[in-house]
Amino acid sequence: MKLAVPIFLAVVLISGASAQDSRFIHGVVHDADSHQALEGANVVVRGTFLGAATDKNGAFRISGLSGGRYTVVISMVGYEPFLLENVEPTLPDAAPLEIMLRSVPIETEQIVVTASRRAQNAREVPVSISVITASTLAARNIITMNEALRYVPGVNMLQDQVNIRGSSGYSRGVGSRVLLLLDGLPFLTGDTGEIQWETLPVGEVERIEIVKGAGSALYGSSALGGVINVLTRPIPDGPSFKFRMFSGLYGKPPYEEWRWSEKPRFTSGVVAGYGDRIGSLQYLVSVGRTVDESHKENDTYHRWTVFTKAQYDLSEESRLSMVFNMLRRKHGNYFWWRSLREATAPADIQRNGSVESTRGNLSVGFRQTINERLFYVVKGMYFGNFWRDDSAGHVNNVSASHIFQGDMQVTYGISDNNILTVGIAGNLDQVRSNLFGDHKGYGFAAYVQEEIRLHKDLHATAGVRYDVQKASVLSAEGRLSPKLGLTLAISEATTLRGSLGSGFRYPSIGELFVSSSTNVSQLIILPNVNLRPETSVTAELGVSARVTNFLDLDGAVFWNEFRDLIEPSVKIKSIRLPTDTVESDRAVVEFENVTKARIQGAEVGVKISWWERILTTDIGYTVLWPEDVAQGTILKFRPRHILQTSATWIMGDLKCSADYRFISRVDQIDDQLVALAPIVHGQYRVPIHVVDLRGSAALRAWGIPLQIGLHVNNALNYQYVELVGNLAAPRVFSISIEGSF
């Protein structure tokens, strides 16, 4: 780590020296029908890594070009891509290019950055990828990021634990098998290796990319079942104030026994942000406050969030950026119900428990474009997590974890048909906790990826990454992760894809060293330092096709093989606690490498636009065969069928939408957990049918820059559990108002 600073400075100095006296391509992008300026259109110079996004005036400027003629591609979701050939870079005072984009019935041409660590069209990537945009988050009144993932094909949530195509079971979030990235850097907690969704700044997100299947060849540990990359929004180019507020009311549960509070239960929040530019410095600051009284007793939370992003253009080719993001939260410690008869009351031992946490990250990034075929990115992040839980004022457990990580990536276009990406990454972790002990860990990785155009319609991607990780006094573990991908455009509208990827996950410090006799259940948790990394291999074949201008299809078959899956095992063991005089039989939990699994499946997505795009419908269906090969049984906590459908009707400034989700009843749960925790009526579960309705109106026709939304979540007031002993929210009515000036 001591070398990092001099290397970084050397890179900056070298890059500064290589900055060129370049020419520009600049222009303005408009909607062909309304002639309104289009903000957020992607402008890419083909055959280079140079590009830009249009600002709120529809303007863009691309520098760093040498002489010659270029092809410029302008694309935007909902518009037909526009190609400008033989464009000659000019001096800045030359007239800008005027570009008109025509809207198309189906949203296409999504640009993604996660699959290959560089911007590319989603149709060009060899793996299945889904994208959630900021407008979708706002339309669905998403408050915490995990809620948005419930609408992604192939994804289901076990309350706050994400499961992509059946990769994850249930472990209370510990040791996520899906790698979460924030702006490209891992964002898992240092102690338990889990995702803390609330720490992500929902209001400041531009989009979320979900890559399905193993992705350790580019991203390392935890990318066993997939990668979720949360990308924060660009800072506005001029003064901009944006706010959003919402207030919701939980509906009454259907049974008197579940009505634990005489008062109505509300959920409400507000977030407001301001951004501006001062010379070459752009900044954005936002503050948020959310209070959720919950439909369950002792499940209320209060949270404050602060988000700051700044970027400084050192030159036309280099940019320094910084993100500071922090969450402070107090939350009731509800683990499971007292019984299904009292499904909104916690088990007695959890009744007075609460958790206070402070979590935050500081990230710094530097991007330098050396020339049109070469750029590099250096990133670093500190992610801190501090929490403590207590019962009736008595502190039970505390944990402080710190992660420092860095990543340097160089991408070089060797030729028009050959792109090379190389990089190194490192991390340093420290955990101090009465629950996990005091431990340090560190890791280092190097990766390389080559993308080759073998034929004009055939692209191949090959990559490999080597990781070394060491946790505390345990010996270091090395892991090699290769990948291979192919895309074949069999026509202008149809692309075949195939990929083979590998994944692994080092056990978290929590799984290795946890030791507790003060758990919320009667279970004692024991450490296990003999855990081995989990591994996975993913193979996928897929096709995406534009059947007509109104119909898009995507299909995939996939096969995942998992080895050494770490699961919490609940059993009876004769142990002696510090408070005991003799050994006695106790129900204990130990994390163990217990399962070898195979998950095969298929996924279909159909997107249809009706009546000149007045109505659009979206259907995603996933079928899974999740097999515990070691036991010869169905894997626990995995559904067989996942169906997500949505319909959106747009009429001018009015928009109405309906979503329907179906998840088949989970065949197997952990009977031992239910019996020994114990969770009374924990075996009760049903298929999930959820309908969400919403409508919104933009008031811009009256000159008011506001949008008002009405939302009814779980409109059928369907009662279900995603997680054993946890009744999901009943019908919730809410209203939202957002505006930007």
Interface positions, 516-555, toward other proteins (CB under 8 A): 522
Nearest approach in angstroms of CB 572 to other proteins is: 6
Q: What does the block give as tokens for 176?
A: 């996520």
CB of 672 to other proteins, least distance (A): 5
**Of these, 223, 230, 370, 587, which contacts other proteins (CB under 8 A)?**
587
Q: Half-sphere exposure of residue 708, counting CA atoms within 13 Å on the CB side?
A: 5
Which residue is it, tokens 């996990």?
A: 436
- State which of residues 717, 733, 735, 737 lies at the interface with other proteins (CB under 8 A): 717
CB of 582 to other proteins, least distance (A): 10
Nearest approach, Cβ of residue 173 and other proteins (Å): 23
Shorter beta-carbon distance to other proteins: residue 66 or 339: 339
Using CB under 8 A, pick the residue from 262, 492, 585, 612 that binds other proteins.
585
Kindly indicate which of the ranges 242-250, 279-287, 372-380, 579-587 contains the residues binding other proteins, using the contact rule CB under 8 A: 579-587
601-to-96, 498, 541, 620, 642 alpha-carbon distances in Å:
50, 15, 11, 13, 11
Reported residue count of the chain is 741
Cα 100 from chain centroid (whole Å): 33
Burial string for 314-348 (b: 16+ CB within 10 Å, else e) reads beebbbbbebbbbbebebbbbbbbbbbebbbbbbe
Out of 459, 681, 711, 731, point to the residue binding other proteins (CB under 8 A).
Answer: 681
179 near other proteins, judged by CB under 8 A: no
Structure tokens at 698: 């933009």
Look at residue 258 and give its three-state secondary structure.
Answer: helix
- Binds other proteins (CB under 8 A): choice among 43, 132, 674, 679: 674
- Are 235 and 209 in contact by the 8 Å Cβ rule? The answer is no
Q: Per the structure block, which two tokens stand in for 387?
A: 């929490």
Q: Write down the least CB distance from residue 740 to other proteins, Å.
A: 36
CB 632 to other proteins: min, Å: 13
**148 close to 137: Cβ distance less than 8 angstroms:** yes
Contact between 721 and other proteins per CB under 8 A? yes
Residues in 218-257 that interact with other proteins by CB under 8 A: 254-255, 257
Pick 119 or 572: Cβ nearer other proteins: 572
Cα separations in angstroms, 140 against 216, 609, 698, 713, 736: 31, 20, 15, 9, 10
Residue 43 within binding range of other proteins, rule CB under 8 A: no
- Which of 671, 700, 704, 741 binds other proteins (CB under 8 A)? It is 671
649 binds other proteins (CB under 8 A): no
DSSP 79: B
Q: Which of residues 320-339 bind other proteins (CB under 8 A)?
A: 339
Integer CA distances (angstroms), 526 to 100, 431, 517, 518, 588, in order: 64, 18, 9, 12, 7
Give the number of residues in contact with other proteins, rule: CB under 8 A. Answer: 41
**Could you say which of 274, 312, 466, 718 contacts other proteins (CB under 8 A)?**
718
Per-residue tokens: 497:
């894809």
Least Å distance, CB 525 to other proteins, is 16
Residue 347 interacting with other proteins (CB under 8 A): no
Q: How far apart are CA 506 and CA 533, in angstroms?
A: 5
Residue type, 61: R
**Does residue 586 interact with other proteins by CB under 8 A?**
yes
Cα–Cα distance measured from residue 499 to residue 538, given in angstroms and rounded to the nearest whole number: 8
Do 50 and 62 touch, CB atoms closer than 8 A?
Answer: yes
Binding segment (CB under 8 A) for other proteins, from list 127-135, 179-187, 590-598, 720-728: 720-728
User: Residue 403 or residue 690: which is nearer to other proteins going by CB?
Assistant: 690
Distance between CA atoms of residues 90 and 67, nearest Å: 9
Give the residue with the Cβ less far from other proteins, 237 or 257. 257
Question: How far from 358 is each of 238, 324, 380, CA to CA, in Å?
Answer: 32, 13, 20
- What is the binding site for other proteins (CB under 8 A)? 254-255, 257, 339-341, 343, 522, 570-572, 574, 585-587, 608, 610, 645, 660, 662, 671-672, 674-676, 678, 681, 683-687, 689, 691, 716-721, 727
